[in-house]
A and B are shown apart, each in its own frame.
Chain A
Amino acid sequence: MPIAGEVAIVGSATTAFGVHHDRGYLELLAEAAFGAVDDAGLDLGRIGSAWLGTAEPGLTGLVGDSGGAVAEAIGFAPRPVTRVANFCCTGMEAVRAAALDVAAGEHELVLAIGAEKMRDVTSRGSLVARTANLTHPTIAKGRTAPGQFALLANAYMERWGVSRETLARVAVKNHEHATRNPKAHFRSPITVEDVLAAPLVAEPFGTLDCTPTTDGAAAVVLASVAWARANADHYVVIRGFGLAVTQGYYTTFFDETNDFLGFRATREAAAVAYRQAGISDPRAQLDLVECHDCFTVTELVNTEDLGLCGRGEGGALLESGATAFGGDIPVNVSGGLQSCGHPVGATGVRMIAEIGDHVLGRAGERQVEGARLGLAHTLGGPGAVSTVCVVGASDRQ
């Protein structure tokens, strides 16, 4: 059977995102995994298999480089566990693999876990520094993630006449959102002036345009909708799941068809997910969106690529207040990557759990009232990989 409309999320959990000097990779993984299984009202013994999303095990002494981390952290032996990775879509990739596992009928109950421990190393050993060293010795030298997205920011501002202040207001909005999320890394409001005065990372971005470096884990338990209908206390349904892979690691910025104004991968993944979910007018049909705001400009182009507005209209959509909490299409009410941080493997799983919480009406202070259909979106690498997952209410609700 397909995933869309047939696979349900029956449990979820997210650790606090932040700097966990007192807890290691395996402990964060275990908190999320046991939390999701508890939320599903199950014993771990019922779970048939697991999928682990960790993007950079090199940051943690390679502890997360195979499914063995799950066996070790939660006592899962000898059941099958596979580690998956797909740039910043790694977390959603774990959920997608788990959904395929359920859809294939291989296992009745499957765990998807995303975990990343990024703060055991200093900035000298950080993802940026590692990437600078380990990537291709010529064509990749000079690249960093913020530098690559800054190419887009400068082209976007020039092409559409969008101001630096508008970019900053993405961060201001998402930091305000995070004041209602006790699990976010940053939970204090900031101003446009704060964003503009922050130390430069890659012009035009300062530190407050960028997602912080964060530890965290999240997990969901998946089952078939049929199983959920018969057994689950509460569940939500995956209505659409698109994954698009358009380029390799290095080629995106050499591609003469790249207009530096958006990401084809997002548009393609959204088209698949929307078709499966029966969405033709995303702004009207979706109640909330969690999208990949790794840098401020990314949220603006994401809202365009996801069809919430036309191309070049992301700034105006933001300025209208539509994407703020209380607006007609709230984007990143969790605080997004801007405030939650971006433990790479955990992010996509956290987003899906977030949408599920809103649809179940249990999102607390930041609950989007009456939410029945939401979208989670991640964007990976140089914008070459994107995952779009539409999550909706069960027919029971």
Chain B
Amino acid sequence: MPGPFDSTSTAVSVLDGSLLLPASVVRGRAVAGGDEDALTLAAEAAFPVLAAADRLPDVLVLVTTSPPYDEGGSVQALAELTGLAGDVLALELTSSLRDGLTAVRLAAALAAAGGATVLVCAAHRSRGEKDAGDGAAALLLAADGGVATLRPGPVRAEELRDRWRLAGEAGRDEGDPSFVWDEGLPRVAREWELEGPSLVGPVARTAARAERALGGPGDELAAAVGVIGAAHPLGRLLLGLDRPQVLAAVAGGLGEALHADPGPGAEAVAAHARAVLAAPRSDALPEPIDWTRLTPYASGPRSRRERRQDLRLEGSRCAGCSRLVFPPPVTCPHCGSRELAPELLARSGTVVTEARDHAYPVSRSTGMAVVELDGGGRFYGQVVPSARVAIGDRVRIVPRRLHDGGGAAQYFWKLAPEAVA
């Protein structure tokens, strides 16, 4: 009888990966700011992977149980933020935290069938669940040539309501702990006869108990920051990428398992993820953002027209005077030339001047700063809540959800202190 990881199943290779955790961890849970959501977290996880990649992926998969939109799609904004927008296959998996592993299976099939390179971005932005943390993981996958090999294993779909949220409902429902133990993830893991598995399920304590019982390594990610939703199995995968792993996720009767084997280079990817996990974080809750006094002017046609400025941080390089100007002008303000070529701004720079504003009608105060960008040009915008910057400070430019003007999520860029890691 074949084992759960049939050697004939389609494997996929990990080219690179990145774990992303927000700036605060409060009582064992990573907590993102009020201006962060699954898309901004996913984008931030993807940036280092894309920066190091020698070619752009053909497929983008967003994996999250907390998508910003219930209808109309969320992944296209991620495609814009990551520079993949256009003729790209963009998919969303939004059912349960099993989906992190399902995305790997999907990537394996697409890589095997058409030679695709697939960027999987998984993220979670909790709605106040007790054991859930916020965070994201990105994986760049292709048929071969990577640092580790992933082999999808058994799958499962059956009626099992251990945690769910009915459409239109705000809160989540959860099954009785003994029911979850008897019928949920622990039972499926036993049936699959997994050896030493890393288990991910909707009720963290139950998953941890089952993992101990089956000789698994223990979930250091959940212990440090909580279960980061559908990103959790991928986060665990990255943290242990330098050793053989068996991962399984079962939630809501949907199950998926994966076997991972390290190759040369896996250590560096795992080390990066472990550095992210070990980086010092604030134990204070992020400053809340009160948007109730802001009813911003919004325009769908404008959002589309200016999407590359808003979501790509794209400026213009003037052919006349070589200056990089943002936002992209119609006519160069320096020399009057109308020969302007699009160019992305650097997402890092140095503060020229700043001011903390108590009059802007959002929250108690809003930091604003002007930044000289590393590649030329300037950016002027908000400092992320909780952070303070001073003249001369080095800063990063990060994607954030600016407001929901006109009933749509408006993403833009804010300034954050330079990363510790």
Contact = CB atoms under 8 A, between A and B. Distances in A.
Contacts of B294: 132-133
Interface string A197-226: 001111100000000000000000000000
B355 A202 contact: yes
B158 to A, nearest CB: 46
Contacts of A152: 353
Interface string B241-262: 0000000000000000000000
A318 B405 CA distance: 45
Given A124-B293, A141-B402, A260 B333 contact: no
Contacts of B380: 139, 253-254
Interface string A120-155: 000010001100111111110111101110111111
Contacts of A147: 355, 357, 359-360, 366, 368
A320 interface: no
Interface size class of B (residues with CB under 8 A): 35 or more
B52 to A, nearest CB: 28
A311 B387 CA distance: 33
A247 B334 CA distance: 11
Interface stretch (B112-120, B277-285, B299-307): B299-307
B296 A151 contact: no
A155 B353 contact: yes
B327 interface: yes
A144 B381 contact: no
B296 A133 contact: yes
A201 B370 contact: no
A362 to B, nearest CB: 38
A255 interface: yes
B359 A141 contact: no
Interface string B390-414: 0100000000001101000010100
A132 B327 CA distance: 19
B357 A146 contact: yes
Interface in B347-382: 352-362, 365-366, 368, 370, 372, 376-382
A251 interface: yes
B377 A256 contact: yes
B323 interface: yes
A250 B379 CA distance: 11
Of the listed residues B297, B309, B402, the one surrounded by the most CB atoms of chain A closer than 10 A to its CB is: B297
A132 B368 contact: no
Given A139-B327, A151-B353, A254 B379 contact: yes
Interface string A157-193: 0100000000000000000000000000000000000
B298 to A, nearest CB: 5
B103 to A, nearest CB: 30
A135 B377 CA distance: 22
Contacts of B391: 154-155, 158
B377 to A, nearest CB: 6
Contact of A254 (B298, B368, B378, B402): B378
Of the listed residues B333, B357, B358, the one surrounded by the most CB atoms of chain A closer than 10 A to its CB is: B357
Contacts of B377: 254, 256
Contact of A253 (B333, B357, B370): B370
A132 B360 contact: yes
A133 B391 CA distance: 28
Nearest to B310: A138
Contacts of B354: 151, 154
B295 interface: yes
Interface size class of A (residues with CB under 8 A): 35 or more
Interface in A244-271: 247, 250-251, 253-257, 260
Contact of B293 (A129, A153, A256, A257): A129
A251 B377 CA distance: 12
Of the listed residues B355, B361, B377, the one surrounded by the most CB atoms of chain A closer than 10 A to its CB is: B355
Contacts of A200: 358, 365
A142 B359 contact: no
A137 B296 CA distance: 7
Interface in B286-334: 293-299, 302-303, 306, 309-310, 323, 325-327, 329, 333-334
Contacts of B353: 151-152, 154-155, 158, 260
Contact of B352 (A136, A146, A155): A155
Contacts of B302: 137
Contacts of B334: 257
Nearest to B357: A147
Nearest to B302: A137
A334 B313 CA distance: 46
A57 to B, nearest CB: 17
Contact of B382 (A135, A141, A247): A141
A135 B296 CA distance: 8
Contact of A138 (B362, B378, B402): B402
Contacts of B323: 256
B325 A254 contact: yes
Interface string B17-60: 00000000000000000000000000000000000000000000
A256 B379 CA distance: 9
B355 A141 contact: no
Contacts of B376: 256
Nearest to A134: B297
Contacts of A253: 370, 378, 380
Nearest to A150: B355
A250 B327 contact: yes
Interface in A89-139: 124, 128-129, 132-139
B361 A129 contact: yes
B357 A142 contact: yes
B297 A133 contact: yes
A146 B372 contact: no
A247 B333 contact: yes
24 contacts: A128-B360, A137-B302, A137-B402, A138-B306, A138-B410, A138-B412, A139-B327, A141-B382, A142-B382, A144-B359, A147-B366, A148-B355, A150-B355, A150-B357, A151-B355, A151-B370, A200-B358, A201-B358, A203-B357, A251-B329, A254-B327, A254-B380, A256-B323, A256-B372
Interface of B: 293-299, 302-303, 306, 309-310, 323, 325-327, 329, 333-334, 352-362, 365-366, 368, 370, 372, 376-382, 391, 402-403, 405, 410, 412
Given A138-B310, A144-B359, 15 more contacts: A128-B359, A132-B296, A133-B294, A138-B306, A142-B362, A142-B366, A143-B360, A146-B359, A147-B355, A147-B366, A150-B355, A199-B358, A202-B359, A256-B323, A260-B352
User: Which 5 A-B pairs have CB atoms at the shortest separation, nearest pair first?
Assistant: A150-B355, A147-B357, A155-B353, A253-B380, A142-B382
Interface of A: 124, 128-129, 132-139, 141-144, 146-148, 150-155, 158, 199-203, 247, 250-251, 253-257, 260
